């Protein structure tokens, strides 16, 4: 649950029966027990055959499980989410692209029937466009659909493995972008030329297919042999290009129009640049996500934690929340005028709401001369009413409460607040801290690679902090 929340998924846990699983639209995790072993399996409800599918991580295929098979191990606990913005977002994109594709195909069919042109000549172009579109958008489609089934039609077929290999690109250009751009340019050229009454448009387009067919087939076969997996979608795209080349070779008495080839090249280069740019952005987001997970794994190693932290003397503070004897003991060094400190306070308040057991101390430091009076006000607020100070802290971390003019204090309480502020200044000076915020975990001052968001996992890793 902590990991799912860390990556931004609003996951929830509950206990239900078999029938309730039908209400879950997105995939979910089932908690299973077998003797002393506990495990989580990825599952989803298939509404078409009304059955449960479990993901086999070894062969990356969804396997159908019956009620009897599932209930042998499942204890009724399920982790699920009710929101899936990424899924809806890409379904919308795919829906728009599919609609445009259907309209363009219908346009071509109507034109070909009106002009009495054999529709068979257009079949490789239409099929290549649809399949290359699926190949380009395959990573955004849900598992288990018809495209996924085609990609795993046999034991040696795996589109994903071919796509993730080094042979999926040439000269830095991805093969799926090249294929989709190739057929996009053909479809647009056909549409544009028919608008201007030009009928002999396929002949020059298929001439281009004849030129590139042999190197395309050779590289595709070479790459799939090296990976030892077949990509059915890639094979279909290659066959469409070959069929176009065959049609050109046996199609006589036609003239190659250079204006059509020029138009094709311009559209191809433009569409390739756009598709490659979108693909690079998606890859960058995916890589950043993977890097953040790997970095989190690295930061949770005990040897890294010891290297990236400095042992300090025991720290005490007059401002704190939670049991003083709790472990871990966390101290945050903040400044009222520090905007970054608001994020740290907000994160720690969220950890408290989750019910994590830890002691949270706060030491206040000043970055400007005006902070001195504000710090004394904060100390006075805490000493007067701890709960109200916490409410004020919540508002401040959310940017609702601003630093106000210090409240009036009697001389005795003002003297106490002033002494505590001076204690804070002495501790900050001893630690040689010149910037805020800083975090101390069990008397170890953390380096800048650790953020307040990491503390949730460090708290869970008892072997690290003890």
Task: Give ranges for CATH 3.90.70.10 in the chain.
Answer: 2-83
In this predicted model, what pLDDT tens digit does every residue of 254-293 receive, in sequence order?
A: 677 888 889 999 999 999 999 999 999 988 888 887 887 7
Is 193:125 a contact under the CB 8 Å cutoff? no
Pairing of strands 329-334, 359-364: parallel
Average pLDDT value for the chain = 82
- pLDDT surpasses 60 at 110: no
Q: What is the pLDDT of residue 62?
A: 83
Is 47:22 a contact under the CB 8 Å cutoff? yes
Between the alpha carbon of residue 60 and those of residues 157, 282, 376, 408, the distances in Å are: 12, 22, 60, 67
Task: Give ranges for CATH 1.20.1440 in the chain.
Answer: 86-294
Element (H, E) at 13: strand 11-15
Region 2-83: CATH code: 3.90.70.10
What average pLDDT does the segment 125-134 reach? 90
Q: What is the pLDDT of residue 285?
A: 85
- Report residue 463's pLDDT band, with 50, 70 and 90 as the boundaries: low
Region 302-465: CATH code: 3.40.30.10
Residue 391's beta-bridge partner residues? none
Residues 6 or more apart whose CB falls under 8 angstroms from that of 170 comprise 178, 219
Which tokens hold the place of 162?
């071919």
Between the alpha carbon of residue 125 and those of residues 92, 159, 187, 463, the distances in Å are: 25, 21, 7, 61
What average pLDDT does the segment 121-134 reach? 88
Task: Give ranges for CATH 3.40.30.10 in the chain.
Answer: 302-465
HSE-CB of 37 using CA atoms within 13 angstroms: 5
Region 86-294: CATH code: 1.20.1440
Is 262:191 a contact under the CB 8 Å cutoff? no
């Amino acid at each position: 649950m902590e990991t799912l929340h860390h990556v931004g998924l609003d996951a929830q846990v509950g206990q239900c029966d078999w029938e309730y699983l039908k209400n879950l639209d997105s995939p979910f995790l089932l908690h299973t027990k077998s003797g002393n072993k506990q495990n989580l399996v990825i599952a989803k409800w298939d509404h078409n055959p009304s059955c449960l599918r479990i993901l086999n991580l070894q062969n990356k295929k969804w396997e159908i499980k019956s009620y009897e098979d599932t209930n042998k191990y499942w204890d009724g606990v399920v982790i699920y989410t009710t929101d899936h913005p990424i899924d809806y977002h890409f379904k919308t994109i795919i829906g728009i692209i599919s609609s445009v594709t259907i309209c363009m195909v219908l346009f071509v069919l109507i034109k070909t029937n009106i002009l009495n042109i054999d529709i068979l000549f257009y079949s490789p172009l239409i099929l290549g466009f649809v399949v290359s579109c699926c190949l380009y958008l395959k990573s955004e489609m849900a598992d288990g659909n018809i495209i996924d089934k085609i990609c795993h039609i046999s034991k040696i077929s795996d589109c994903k493995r071919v796509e993730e290999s080094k042979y999926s690109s040439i000269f830095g250009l991805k093969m799926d972008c090249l294929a989709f751009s190739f057929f996009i340019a053909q479809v647009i050229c056909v549409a544009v030329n028919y608008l201007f009454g030009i009928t002999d448009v396929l002949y020059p387009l298929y001439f281009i297919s004849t030129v590139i067919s042999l190197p395309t087939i050779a590289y595709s076969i070479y790459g799939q042999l090296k990976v030892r997996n077949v990509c059915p979608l890639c094979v279909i795209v290659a066959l469409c290009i070959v069929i176009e080349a065959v049609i050109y070779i046996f199609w006589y008495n036609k003239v190659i129009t250079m204006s059509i080839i020029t138009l094709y090249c311009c559209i191809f280069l433009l569409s390739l640049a756009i598709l490659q740019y979108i693909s690079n952005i998606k890859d960058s987001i995916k890589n950043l996500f993977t890097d953040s997970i790997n970095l989190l794994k690295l930061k949770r190693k005990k040897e890294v934690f010891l290297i990236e932290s400095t042992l300090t003397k025991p720290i005490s503070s007059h401002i704190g929340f939670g049991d003083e004897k709790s472990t871990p003991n966390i101290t945050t060094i903040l400044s009222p005028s520090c905007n970054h400190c608001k994020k740290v306070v907000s994160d720690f308040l969220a950890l408290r709401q989750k019910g994590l057991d830890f002691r949270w101390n706060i030491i206040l430091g000043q970055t400007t001369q005006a902070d001195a009076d504000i710090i004394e006000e904060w100390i006075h607020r805490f000493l007067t009413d701890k709960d109200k100070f916490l409410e004020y802290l919540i508002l401040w971390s959310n940017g609702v409460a601003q630093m106000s003019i210090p409240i009036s204090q009697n001389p005795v309480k003002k003297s106490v607040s002033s002494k505590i502020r001076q204690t804070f200044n002495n501790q900050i000076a001893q630690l040689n801290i010149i910037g805020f915020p800083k975090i101390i975990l069990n008397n170890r001052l953390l380096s800048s690679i650790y953020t307040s968001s990491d503390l949730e996992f460090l708290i869970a890793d008892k072997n690290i902090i003890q």
